[in-house]
Amino acid sequence: MKKALIIFILSIFFLSCDCKNCGDHRNFIVTDFSQKRVDTLVPYKNKSYVGYFIRIKGYVNDTIKIKREGYYDKNLIGKIDTLMNGDYYGTENIIWTFDPYRASEGKLEIEYSL
């Protein structure tokens, strides 16, 4: 009986966790500015979507670029605390690109989601 109760509680815990790096959500910290990072957000088939967002917070010593493939290319510099969002209805994958461009040091917290 105790074993079944423990398994039940653990399964509820794991099912209720909010996945921060699942198919439709990413969350990471950038401290290495030597390479680009490209991620694809994939919508779940049975989930309704109304928008996407990307939140960037931190500091860089020079210009970085944030791109949503096929839509826009934003340049950011210095102390950054920004939120970009738009309409999205779950019809396609979204490809995000973080390009350190001219920045060589700093620390950024980046989160994007559908």
| CATH at residue 27 | 2.60.120.20
The range of the structural domain enclosing residue 98 comes to: 20-113
pTM above 0.85, yes or no: no
Token pair listed for 42:
């994939």
Question: Does residue 1 fall inside a structural domain?
Answer: no
Distance between CA 77 and CA 80 in Å, rounded?
Answer: 7
Question: Does residue 9 fall inside a structural domain?
Answer: no
Express each pLDDT in 22-43 by its tens digit: 678 999 999 999 999 999 999 9
Question: Does residue 5 fall inside a structural domain?
Answer: no
Number of domains composing the chain: 1
Question: Does residue 48 fall inside a structural domain?
Answer: yes
Question: Does residue 14 fall inside a structural domain?
Answer: no
Express each pLDDT in 62-113 by its tens digit: 999 999 888 889 999 999 999 999 999 888 899 999 999 999 999 999 999 9
Q: 15-24, 48-57, 99-108 — which is least confidently predicted?
A: 15-24
Distance between CA 110 and CA 92 in Å, rounded?
Answer: 21
More confidently predicted of 3 and 50: 50
Question: Does residue 53 fall inside a structural domain?
Answer: yes
